[in-house]
Structures are given as structure tokens and as C-alpha cells.
Amino acid sequence: MSTLKVALIQTNIKWLDISANLAALEQQLSDCKAVDLILLPETFATGFAMARPAARVDSDGGQILIWLKAMAERHQAVIAGSVFVTHRDKIANRFYWVWPNGETKYYDKRHLFRLGNEGDHVIAGQAREVFNINGVRILPQVCYDLRFPVWARNQNDYDVLVNVANWPAARRKIWDTLLQARAIENQAYVLGVNRIGQDGFNVQHSGGTVAYDFKGDILALVEDHCAGVLYSNLDLDALAEFKQQFPAYLDADSFSLLD
């Protein structure tokens, strides 16, 4: 396909209120039509309450994965967002991707936020995933992953980088800067999806949901502190033409990712 149509959802996540959050998202999605991909923020159903049992679902994804499958079928689009899932003796911050036919894939967050003691509760993902939607290659990442450019390095294996987050307002400048940098250095579209509002720890979130093109220019964004849906069409022909005219990726250093 030459175009990927995306819908990015910026929302105020109610702390540990799964029913209210899913209902609010359904309302935001009520007019969403003819898109290929719908993106939700990190821990969209509960907030970032990793130490609270109420924020966790069983290893099969529980009611939240059931809801994701229903939304994917209803909107005939891939829908993706992260959930805390029980995993071994800890949990995983699991970024589910669900297709309209019920097919499900996931990426587990690799980089755990040391300042918030995320590693005490969450097991780090070990696999770098690239998902394909109608021929468009997409690299999924979650929040703190954004700070680590090696994990995001484009080895000419993806077209779009996605990061979903609960990124606090106090570090908002870093969110904006790193998203733009990832687009420029990797010659790829970059989609950032962040929440708004105050969480259960009184941490404020201002949003910053945005789509960047492969030159680091903003295609569209959602107004700060407002719930909303960002729609954008990603032109893959334009990306291919740009990389042909400016093939910086051919001069990239070779490397391998080690555990």
C-alpha cells in the first residue's frame, strides 16, 4: 500500500477504572472510520499503576484484550495499546497489536524506568519486534524506550516508529525533542501517543500526541491538555522517494544488538 491511515488517541486515563476508561475510548472512537491503525496510550485502561493488582490482567490479556479484539473488528482496523500482564513472578508492560480478524501480536517494553522502580515489578522485554500492516513495517516502542536510540536504530527494516507513553509534563520537552530526533535519524515516520491529566501519584501529563514525517516535520498534533483523536495519512511513496534522493541510511554504521 502507498498510504497508512492512522488514528492516535489522546485521553485522560482514570486511575484504576477500567470500565470508565474503555467507555471513554469507545466514545472517542465512535466517529473513527476508514483507518488502518488505531493507537492508544501506554496502560490506557488503568493508568501506570504497576504495583496495584487491580492494574494487572491475566497472561491471556483478560477483559482488556477481549475489548481490543471487539474494537478492532468494529472499526476494521488494527488497534494497539499497552497493558500490565502477569508474567512469571512479575508483570510485563505488554504492547498488544490486534487485527480485525482477531490475530494478536505484542511487544514487551524493553527499557524499564529506573527512577520509578519499574524493574521491581516489570520484567524487561527481550525481543525487538517489527509488525506489518498491509506492507507497511512498524517498529513498536513504549515510553522510556524513546531515550535509547540504539534500540530504535533503523536497519532499513521499518517505515514507521510508534511510541505510546505516560510521559509526564515535567519532562515534556524531552518527549518532543526525542520523537523528532528519532524521525530524522531513522528516516522514518514517527507517531507519539501520550495521555493527559493527573494520575494516582499526582503526576501531571500534558499530552503531546503527534505525527512526524521522515524529515522531522510535524504532520498533525493534538492540542495540549485536551482529549482528542489525531488523524494522519502516512505517504509511503513519499518516504521511498526521499530515501532514494537522500540515502543516508546506506552510510549507517553496522552493529548488532546484544542481550
Residue 108 lies in a domain: yes
Residue 145 lies in a domain: yes
Q: Output the pTM of the full model.
A: 0.96
User: Of these residues, 42, 118, 185, 226, which one is catalytic?
Assistant: 42
Over residues 66-76, the mean pLDDT reads 97
- 217, 210 in Cβ contact below 8 A? no
Range of the domain at 62: 3-251
Residue 107 lies in a domain: yes
Q: What is the pLDDT of residue 60?
A: 84
- Domains identified in the chain, total number: 1
pLDDT digits (tens, 9 = 90+) for 191-230: 999 999 999 999 999 999 999 999 999 999 999 999 999 9
pLDDT digits (tens, 9 = 90+) for 6-24: 999 999 999 999 999 999 9
pLDDT digits (tens, 9 = 90+) for 160-201: 999 999 999 999 999 999 999 999 999 999 999 999 999 999
Alpha-carbon distance 152 to 158, whole Å?
A: 10
User: Of these residues, 143, 173, 185, 243, which one is catalytic?
Assistant: 143
Q: Is 226 a known active-site residue?
A: no
Q: What is the pLDDT of residue 18?
A: 96
Q: Is 109 a known active-site residue?
A: yes
User: Of these residues, 14, 69, 109, 118, which one is catalytic?
Assistant: 109
Residue 43 lies in a domain: yes
Dihedral pair phi/psi, residue 106, rounded to 5°? -155, 160
CATH of the domain at 148: 3.60.110.10
